[in-house]
């Protein structure tokens, strides 16, 4: 059981928008920055969003992040078949004194 809760799967059609939620508590999301990672099949994770809503260089603005209270959301617009992947949220947990991840969300672009 992961400390952060994500939906196991989401799906949408090409060109549409999808959001992926990540729910936590005051010991993690509520008081720390959230990051998001994309893991394409058979590859290492890749940083998409850090510090709640910042994009590393090279990440298109189709990807966005937000945080409110103890929840965070990843948004992807203009969906492409190449966006099919597992997406993970992560943050620091002050009670555990370590990084925690969500269980991951599998995105299917129909």
Partner 1 sequence: QVQLVQSGAEVKKPGASVKVSCKASGYTFTSYGISWVRQAPGQGLEWMGWISAYNGNTNYAQKLQGRVTMTTDTSTSTAYMELRSLRSDDTAVYYCARDGAGDYMDVWGKGTTVTVSS
Interface with partner 1 (CB under 8 A), residue from 28, 72, 79, 90: 90
- Please report whether residue 59 would count as binding partner 1 according to CB under 8 A: no
Closest distance of CB 84 from partner 1, Å: 17
Nearest distance, CB of residue 90 and partner 1, angstroms: 7
| 24 near partner 1 (CB under 8 A) | no
Regarding 50 and contact with partner 1 (CB under 8 A), the answer is yes
Mark the segment that binds partner 1 (CB under 8 A) among 9-17, 23-31, 64-72, 91-99: 91-99
* One-character DSSP codes across 46-63: EEEEBTTTB--TT--TTE
Q: Is residue 99 at the binding interface for partner 1, with CB under 8 A as the rule? A: yes
Sheet holding 18-23, edge to edge: 18-23, 71-76, 63-68
CA-to-CA distance for 93 and 95, rounded, in angstroms? Answer: 6
Spatial separation of the C-alpha atoms in residues 94 and 90, rounded to whole Å: 13
Q: Does 51 bind partner 1 (CB under 8 A)?
A: yes
- Single out the residue of 27, 1, 32 nearest to residue 103, CA to CA: 1
Rounded to whole angstroms, the Cα distance separating 109 from 82 reads 8
Binding site for partner 1 (CB under 8 A): 2, 32-33, 35, 37, 43-47, 50-51, 56, 88, 90-92, 96-104
């Amino acid at each position: 059981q992961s400390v952060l809760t994500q939906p196991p799967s989401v799906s949408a059609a090409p060109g549409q928008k999808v959001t992926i939620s990540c729910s936590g508590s005051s010991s993690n999301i509520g008081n720390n920055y959230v990051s998001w990672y994309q893991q394409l099949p058979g590859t290492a994770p890749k940083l998409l969003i850090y510090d709640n809503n910042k994009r590393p260089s090279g990440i298109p603005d189709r990807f966005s992040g937000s945080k409110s209270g103890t929840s965070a959301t990843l948004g992807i617009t203009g969906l492409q078949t190449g966006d099919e992947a597992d997406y993970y949220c992560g943050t620091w947990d002050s009670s555990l004194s370590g990084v925690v991840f969500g269980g991951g969300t599998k995105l299917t672009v129909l």
